Structure 1
Amino acid sequence: KSMLEGDKNGRNTAEVGWRDFIAILKHHGRKRGCHVVEVDPEDTTKECNQCGVKTEKPLWVREHSCPSCGFETDRDYNAALNVWERGLRKLGVVHSEATPAETGTAVDTDAIHEVSASYVVETGSPCLKERTARAVSE
């Protein structure tokens, strides 16, 4: 039997592991100028990331299929999207319905320059300091 399967200390042992893991994430986030936010993981696998409807399902079901809006994806991916959005909400970052950049055709098409996707920085990301500085300097 592993330490986590024992009836005496399993939960405490698992909790210490998570606390250490979160401390490591926060430490490295601070070093790199990123925000690490803890969120409540409850129901992240059951809540549809697209419409918010909660659907009960046994653990062995590995797909998320929403009966309300029809959204289908891997169960863990759906949970990851929910955790990500909860973290952004906690930071006060919200998704806009429209793209926060002007879209249109340039009048002078000779002045259009191609930009590599590696230089495009998403507006509103909580971890932009280093990436923005690097993109601007190049």
Structure 2
Amino acid sequence: KRQPIAIEKIDLSTFAEVKDKDNELSDQARSNRFLVAPSELIGAIKNAGHREGIPVIEVNPANTSKTCSECGAVNKELGAESNWTCPSCNAEHDRDQNAAINIARRAEEKLKKTDENTK
């Protein structure tokens, strides 16, 4: 059985060309011009999944890097650090790996709910 693909549900409005008070593109909008259009990338992933019969599940990424994948506590004090220790259970995390684990779990939960609703 092929495994589902879990991806962040990206708010594409954050990639809009935001202009500042002088009607100039903001630095963020300027740098976003050099990225692959997020909607095209998401579309390509979904199309490939559909073609291959692999479910693609979008999940809300809110707090996935700040939520301990061991105990579920949310570290609201976390700044921009890439590595952190959970204040509740002392588990050590790489922020990106931790977020990936939490995104995968959210996708599993969403898939289970979908399966339960189709029975």
Output the CA distance in 2 between the equivalents of 1:68 and 1:19: 37
Q: CA deviation at 1:35?
A: 0.8
Preserved CA contact (<8 Å) 1:48 1:54? yes
Preserved CA contact (<8 Å) 1:64 1:78? no
Instruction: Give the one of 9, 19, 44 matched to 2:39.
Output: 19
TM-score (norm 2): 0.63
Q: Which residue pairs with 2:53 in the alignment? A: 33
Q: CA deviation at 1:9?
A: 8.0
Q: Which has the higher strand share?
A: 2
Unaligned runs of 5+ in 1: 94-138
Output the CA distance in 2 between the equivalents of 1:57 and 1:83: 18
Q: CA deviation at 1:73?
A: 2.3
RMSD in angstroms over aligned alpha carbons?
2.9
Output the CA distance in 1 between the equivalents of 2:84 and 2:96: 8
Unaligned runs of 5+ in 2: 1-16, 19-24, 114-119
How many positions carry a matched residue from both structures? Answer: 88
Higher relative contact order (Cα pairs below 8 Å, separated by 6+ residues) = 2
Q: Which residue pairs with 1:10 in the alignment? A: 29
The alignment-based identity, stated in percent, is 36
Output the CA distance in 1 between the equivalents of 2:41 and 2:84: 27
Give the greater-gyration-radius structure (CA).
1
Q: Which digits, 9 at most, give the CA deviation of each residue in 1:60-115, with x for residues without a partner?
A: x111311111211211000000111111111117xxxxxxxxxxxxxxxxxxxxxx
Output the CA distance in 2 between the equivalents of 1:42 and 1:18: 18
Would you identify which runs of 4 or more consecutive aligned residues in structure 1 move more than 6 Å? none
